[in-house]
Amino acid sequence: MLLCKVVLLFCTHWIVGGDLLDLYVEHMDETMKTLEYKTSHPKDLRNRSRNKRSAIEGPFFRIGNYRRQRLDVDENWSRIRKAKAKNQRKPLKGDGLEFPNKQEMNPGQDQHEFLNKIENEPKIGMPMINGKDQLALFQTEEILLKEKFATKPFSHKEREELDEQSQFEIIGSYPNEREVPPLKKSPKFWNRVPKKYLPAAKYLKADFKNEKKNERRVFEESVREKRSLISENSVKDVEFSRIEVLDNDGDVVLEWDPSDEEIITFKVTAKTLGYVGIGFNEKSHMKGADLILAWVNDHTRQVNLLDSHGLKEANTAPVTDVSQDVTAISGNQNDTHTTIIFSRKWLTCDPDDKQLTGDTIRVLWALHPTDPELNSAAFHGEKRGGRALRLKAPAPHPPPPPRTADVQHWDVKLNQFAVSNSTDTEYWCKIFKAPVAGKHHMIGYTPLVEKSNEGLVHHVILYECVSTSPTLGKHTKLAGAHCYSPTMPREWESCLQPVLAWARGSKGEWFPEHVGIPVGEHKEGTYYMLEVHYNNPLRRTIIDSSGVRIHYTSNFRKNEAGILVAGVAVTPLHVVPPKQETYATAGYCTPDCTNMMFPDEGINVVSVVLHSHLAGRKLSLKHIREGTELPTIVQDNQFDFDYQQSHTLDKEVKILPGDEIVAECVYGTLDRPNATLGGYAADQEMCLAFVVHYPRTELAACYSMTPVRDLFKTLGITSFKGISMEHLEKLFLTTGFDALALPNMQLSNYQALQADDQSDEGLVKKTESALKIMRDYTEAKNNDMLFTTLVIEDPPEFRGRTLAEHMQALPWTEELLARSIEKNLYHGKHMTFCRMRNDNLAMPVAVQMFPNFTALPIPNNTICTEIRRLTSSAETTPSPFSFILTMTLTVSLLWTLV
């Protein structure tokens, strides 16, 4: 009997379409006298309740770039999606109840969701139309277009009219107000709210389908056109003032705009239909690199960016960053090339990203013919590389317009020179005569380095000769000679004033329109010496014709410029200890020298070439006035031996008489077991700054070195066997280092020195002709001979050791020892030199203490909070269940304690 009652109740409920939840809502509305009860029929309330839970939202289109797929967890994604869904399902006024229907689903396969990437794009350079943002206007129009294709829900009044007319619920409107075809079949008469029916298949004619597809295609093309217009307008105000070809074939071109203080905008054009990778690192490898994968989808034509990084342990596939810090602006793809414009912050505060500054950084590139799949890029193979650049540094001065009538060029280069394979370092010099008689102005220079020998040519320097003797004219017919060797003719020693200095990786330099360096000044003929340094560690046999091209004009510029050399004298007494992460040395230019040689209005610095060798890490040129350090003239905290491009100044710096200049070099020698000495070889070290300035003065070089006695005192050496410290010091200053390289030194070799004039005047005279910047022949073998020849006599604990053995035995890994030596040699006594263009000293050599000045305050950089890596969603956003469980356990524990 009970079973019969249950069956009867079930059948009755099924016949009348009863809905207990509807009855409950109706009962509550009637009991609480809600607004819906007062304004609507109970039947409508039941319909409203059912419709509210079972109505399916119409198709919502997001046209544009689909969002980057991410393999990691985005903690904000779920929260944002839930907030959007909540806003879209607002309850009716007066009804505080909302019952989501888990049965909801998409009614049709054509109702896809497209993500409109424009919603997330920054408004970069967006123009205004009638006082309104163009992007906002486009988004409004796009929403209207979406509504045209979306299923629009009916109001209560419209639904009542439809019920009265047909008893059927219509699922939305059709394009062009087309007549709705009849349904498959009529609903049952007992259904209170008819189910949703789709039109019969026989009425879905092909033309109707095509028409709908065509309208959708027209709509999407319209959106793409508008998006393209917005993309063009977005970057209209972005001026890509910098451009660089990253590879040798011209397949990857990078343009960027460094004018904004917070954001840098890039434009990359690559010869590929797949992905192009752009990265940033200290070296040209993927270990620890900041990587960006960019591609245009072959089907949707949408731009995709993926912020990634390389692991520091090995060259493996890129790993997706937790924080995506790049923003796509626009992009397109034709039959051969892909072009993408994107932006990022200079400082993203992401530990996986590199901070981009004006320092040298390697810009990496990679190409692949196919798009990544599921954010996994295929291995690029050999289609990759890197180029050193300074992204935030001021742009170099542009060359004059092509084919300018008054601009000529003069090629100064070697002719089929056979580089020796018997040594790893070779300096070759050759004499040239200026092609013009009478003064002209050099306005720029560009390198002439053979492609196959780019890795061997270390630097090229052109010196002007003080002498105008016709003897030098005869030497122009010679192939040249080894620089600074006994075989070099004596007449060449007058060629000392640098006119230009090119180093590895540089593209040359063009001077500002108001600046020119005089060339060919002497009517009887002006001679120059070209110096080419070859670094040939593999000792290859090559034929080379490298040099430089000088661009000059007969139309004089407003200001005549010159080059001043500052830094540390090139000498083996410039010692850099081994096993050091950072070790600093400095060359000091005194206020006495600048006060004597600079005009009253001072000089204006245009550009600077910072020069060091393989151990150089950070280089700078400091400026001190009246005991206070001024803003640094130039600096590079990531010095790259293979990229020694000149530093163009954004604003010219004025150095007044009495100012002090300090060229500082910080070295890294963790991989070196022995001390590094100053010299010309690539494995030796230099610390020089070539300063282009105007007006030109008679000052050619202002530099310093550690006094001989102070160096050996700092190393704990009191005296050497067979030679006094005084004689050793004078020998360094008068005869260079070749004498110390003799295998069999006898004390009689120095007796002649004692008979010479030992007064200060005599010492200065000797120094004037002997000590010259970059003139002491200090090849590696001579330095080794020097340090293995001097034998320590005192103190007794070091007696019998050679200088080389003593340097090797010192515990350089002891931080206190290294820092003590660094402090004594950097901030201690400096032997200073003030040399003029005619190779004479403007004042006697003097030993001075390094200045005690107020250092420049360290800039207060943005302090970044390291982004916490996400390991699981549970770690980022605790679930409500876990929160409730935790609170319940806590309350239970407290209740138990009470």
> What are the residue numbers of the active site?
427, 611
Continuous segment of H or E residues that includes residue 579: none
Rounded Cα distance, 884 and 331, in Å: 48
Rounded Cα distance, 309 and 456, in Å: 32
DSSP secondary structure of 430-456: EEEE-SSSS-EEEEEEEEE--GGGTTT
Q: Which of 452, 372, 443 is nearest to 408 (CA)?
A: 443
Rounded Cα distance, 114 and 251, in Å: 33
Query: Is residue 273 a contact partner of residue 369, using CB atoms and an 8 Å limit?
Result: yes
DSSP type of residue 590:
-
Q: How do beta strands 527-535 and 457-465 pair?
A: antiparallel
How many alpha carbons fall within 13 Å on the CB side of residue 411?
7
Rounded Cα distance, 463 and 431, in Å: 10
Q: Tokens at residue 582, please?
A: 């950072």
Helix (H, G, I), strand (E, B), or coil: what is residue 678?
strand
For residue 784, what are the contacts with CB-CB under 8 A and spacing of at least 6?
Answer: 804
141 phi/psi in degrees, rounded to 5: -65, -35
Helix (H, G, I), strand (E, B), or coil: what is residue 245?
strand
Rounded Cα distance, 179 and 160, in Å: 20
Helix (H, G, I), strand (E, B), or coil: what is residue 459?
strand
Q: How remote is the C-alpha of 3 from its chain's centroid?
A: 80
Query: Is residue 704 a contact partner of residue 636, using CB atoms and an 8 Å limit?
Result: no
Query: Is residue 461 a contact partner of residue 501, using CB atoms and an 8 Å limit?
Result: yes
Query: Is residue 193 a contact partner of residue 47, using CB atoms and an 8 Å limit?
Result: yes
Residues β-bridged to residue 295? 275, 304
Rounded Cα distance, 414 and 342, in Å: 45
Question: Alpha-carbon dihedral of residues 625, 629, 631, 637, nearest 10 degrees?
Answer: 130
Q: How remote is the C-alpha of 672 from its chain's centroid?
A: 28
Question: Alpha-carbon dihedral of residues 317, 321, 325, 330, nearest 10 degrees?
Answer: 40
Q: Tokens at residue 169, please?
A: 């619920």
DSSP type of residue 126:
-
Rounded Cα distance, 840 and 838, in Å: 6
DSSP secondary structure of 635-673: EETT-BTTB---EEEEEEEEE-TT-EEEEEEEE--TT-S
Angle subtended at Cα 488 by Cα 487 and Cα 489, rounded to the nearest 5 degrees: 110
